[in-house]
């Protein structure tokens, strides 16, 4: 109570200050904050600045941070997504890559608006020059509120509205750029004979996009217009872990990264036809620069938060004397609203689980566990995953590895009936190596309900910095445990399939032909043999298991008859 009274007295004293004095304080602070926003805009120092000191931008950023209220809100370039303090500072940080060293002679101005003594509003304008060879004027509307904490009064930033040319984020305003008319640039692309660049034009005109891409996919055909000569291609992808610059990518690296982006992200809904927009940033006779913006959702949940992905591209004409346009520069810009590794880990387990269920639902019932292995392929690096499956103790060869559901040491072909993703197994904050777990429940298809079998799947994930994607590095699958049905709490595996099963196990092995993922099976060390890793296909393992077990335990189904069926 006493502290609140004292703080209120400090505020009252400020409100009674002489108007001229308050105005001088506001003008001084207004110019300081304007210069801070201006000089923090580039990672590169001007030529006159000595290299012995810290980079110039750092000192100006420190002053901006110190002036911010922790609950501040920023609206950037007419984007519908408001930013908090952390997101706005990330936006500033990522934009510094884009601009050349600040020219002290470039146009600059600021103006302090007339407000009450406890409010300070500053409008500053300054021109920046992009490494993409265009000029843009940025406008910062900054609102301060006089706050008293621990009997100390000061102005704190509570609201920022960024406008102007906005070439890096939100809606471009060509009143503040040196760009030509966008319509003329689009018409030039429309006449292009290169079908991949025509695809780029269609992306700019979303109504045409349905003729080029499969429904509910992020468009990708336009990436085929990337310059094939790596010496002529300047490509990079933002990285939240990189301090100052985008890592160098080849064309194939860009396509690999984009493929994984498409795996994680999707358009907001099937009826949204305007989630892709393209804005021209620079137009010349033989070069055009544009920013493609995609409004996308991550993961599988309906009505998920929408984020904007921005891609800057440069189109160059007739580089090879063929009168074609090619993408000679490509930069993917980080969304300022998320920590990408953190966001990926939030959604990767559900994405992997759903792909597992898709494989299950696509199989004719009864669905055997090995018919669903192929989902791993979509999340593996080059198709390889290390797998520790059940117990391999005393195993001397692959035929002795218990890959199937076991009961009393003979083969039981069990069908999947339920699953349970374990949220508590997902650990935050996200790290480069992490795990999550899933339980599956199975039962014999030809037996009455009663005994159920439970298995725990542990997925070891590894973050790939270049693809910015969590790959499955290793899979551990425990041996099945018999559980009473009343003790199980799982989500049913619904709509597993409508086709009838013919009752022979040979069909199940036949169905496994399509399993193309390669599994590295690690056998534990014992006193008789050394630990080793063997690379085999899932089909090879399954076939050998049948050869080993079916002769002794299921004589009605011979290996030779299965081979003839295959």
Residues 400-439 pLDDT 10s:
333 433 433 334 456 777 788 898 999 999 999 999 999 9
If asked whether residues 322 and 462 sit together in one domain, one would say no
Domain-terminating residue out of 121, 142, 176: 176
If asked whether residues 264 and 373 sit together in one domain, one would say no
Q: Please, what is the average pLDDT of the chain?
A: 76
Residues 257-290 pLDDT 10s:
999 999 999 988 766 667 888 888 888 878 889 8
Question: Into how many domains does the chain fold?
Answer: 3
If asked whether residues 395 and 507 sit together in one domain, one would say yes
If asked whether residues 195 and 91 sit together in one domain, one would say no
Q: Are 390 and 401 in contact (CB under 8 A)?
A: yes
CA distance 66 to 58: 12
User: Would the pTM of this model clear 0.85, i.e. be above it?
Assistant: no
Residue 503, domain extent: 342-565
Hey, how many other C-beta atoms are within 10 angstroms of the C-beta on 328? 20
If asked whether residues 362 and 502 sit together in one domain, one would say yes
If asked whether residues 208 and 168 sit together in one domain, one would say no
Domain-terminating residue out of 176, 203, 230: 176
Hey, how many other C-beta atoms are within 10 angstroms of the C-beta on 379? 23
Q: What CATH number corresponds to the domain at position 297?
A: 3.10.450.50
If asked whether residues 421 and 558 sit together in one domain, one would say yes
The residue-averaged pLDDT of 316-334 equals 90
If asked whether residues 127 and 201 sit together in one domain, one would say no
Residues 491-512 pLDDT 10s:
665 543 333 333 333 323 223 3
Angle of CA points 558, 564, 565, to nearest 5°: 90
Domain-terminating residue out of 176, 197, 220: 176
What's 335's DSSP letter? P
If asked whether residues 426 and 502 sit together in one domain, one would say yes
Q: Rounded to whole angstroms, what are the CA distances from 429 to 84, 242, 345, 346, 353? A: 19, 18, 9, 10, 21
Hey, how many other C-beta atoms are within 10 angstroms of the C-beta on 205? 13
Q: Which of 223, 241, 126 minimizes the C-alpha distance to 176?
A: 126
pLDDT of residue 512: 30
If asked whether residues 504 and 542 sit together in one domain, one would say yes
If asked whether residues 193 and 56 sit together in one domain, one would say no
Q: Which of 244, 236, 242 minimizes the C-alpha distance to 57?
A: 244
pLDDT of residue 72: 98
Percentage of the chain lying above the pLDDT 90 cut: 40
pLDDT: is 524 or 320 the higher one?
320
If asked whether residues 358 and 453 sit together in one domain, one would say yes
What's 337's DSSP letter? T
């Amino acid at each position: 109570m006493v502290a609140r009274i004292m703080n209120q007295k400090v505020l009252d004293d400020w409100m009674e200050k002489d108007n001229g004095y308050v105005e001088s304080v506001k003008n001084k602070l207004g110019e300081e904050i304007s210069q801070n926003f201006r000089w923090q805009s580039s990672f590169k120092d001007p030529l006159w600045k000595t290299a012995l000191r810290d980079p110039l931008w750092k000192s100006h950023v420190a002053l901006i941070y110190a002036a911010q209220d922790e609950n501040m809100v920023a609206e950037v370039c007419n984007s519908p997504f408001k930013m908090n303090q952390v997101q706005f500072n990330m936006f500033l940080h990522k934009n510094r890559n884009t601009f050349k060293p600040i020219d002290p002679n470039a146009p600059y101005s600021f103006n302090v608006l007339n407000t009450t003594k406890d409010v300070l509003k500053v409008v500053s304008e300054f021109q920046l020059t992009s490494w993409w060879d265009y000029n843009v004027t940025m406008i910062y509307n900054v609102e301060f509120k006089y706050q008293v904490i621990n009997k100390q009064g000061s102005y704190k930033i509570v609201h920022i509205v960024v406008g102007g040319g906005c070439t890096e984020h939100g809606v471009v305003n060509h009143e503040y750029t040196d760009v030509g008319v966008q319509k003329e640039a689009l018409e030039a692309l429309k006449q292009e004979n290169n079908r991949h660049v025509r695809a780029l034009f269609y992306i700019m005109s979303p109504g045409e996009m349905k003729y080029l891409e499969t429904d509910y996919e992020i468009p990708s055909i336009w990436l085929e217009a990337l310059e094939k000569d790596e010496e002529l291609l300047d490509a990079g992808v933002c990285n939240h872990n990189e301090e100052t610059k985008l890592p160098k990518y080849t064309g194939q690296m860009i396509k690999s990264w984009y493929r994984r982006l498409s795996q994680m992200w999707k358009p907001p809904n099937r009826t949204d036809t305007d989630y892709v927009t393209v804005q021209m940033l620079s137009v010349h006779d033989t070069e055009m620069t544009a920013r493609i913006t995609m409004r996308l959702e991550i993961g599988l949940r309906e009505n998920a938060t929408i984020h904007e992905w921005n891609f800057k591209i440069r189109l160059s004409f007739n580089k090879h004397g063929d009168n074609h346009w090619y993408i000679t520069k490509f930069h993917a810009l980080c969304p300022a609203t998320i920590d990408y590794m953190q966001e990926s880990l939030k959604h990767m387990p559900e994405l992997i689980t759903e792909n597992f269920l898709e494989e299950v639902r696509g199989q004719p019932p009864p669905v055997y566990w090995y018919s669903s292995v192929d989902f791993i392929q979509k999340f593996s690096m080059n198709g390889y995953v290390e797998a520790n499956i059940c117990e391999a103790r005393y195993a001397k060869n692959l035929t002795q590895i218990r890959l199937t559901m076991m009961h009393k040491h003979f083969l039981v072909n069990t069908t999947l009936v339920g699953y349970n993703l374990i949220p508590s197994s997902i650990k935050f904050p996200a790290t480069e190596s992490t795990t999550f777990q899933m339980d599956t429940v199975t039962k014999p298809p030809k037996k009455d309900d009663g005994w159920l079998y439970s298995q725990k799947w542990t997925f070891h994930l590894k973050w790939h910095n270049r693809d910015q994607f969590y790959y499955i590095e290793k899979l551990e699958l425990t041996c099945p445990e018999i559980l009473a049905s009343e003790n199980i709490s799982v989500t049913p595996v619904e709509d597993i399939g409508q086709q009838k099963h013919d009752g022979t196990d040979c069909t199940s092995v036949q169905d496994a032909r399509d399993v193309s993922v390669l599994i590295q099976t690690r056998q534990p060390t014992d006193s008789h043999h050394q630990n080793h890793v063997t690379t085999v296909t899932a089909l090879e393992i399954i076939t050998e298991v049948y050869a080993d077990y079916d002769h002794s335990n299921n004589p009605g189904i011979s290996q030779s008859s299965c081979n003839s069926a295959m």
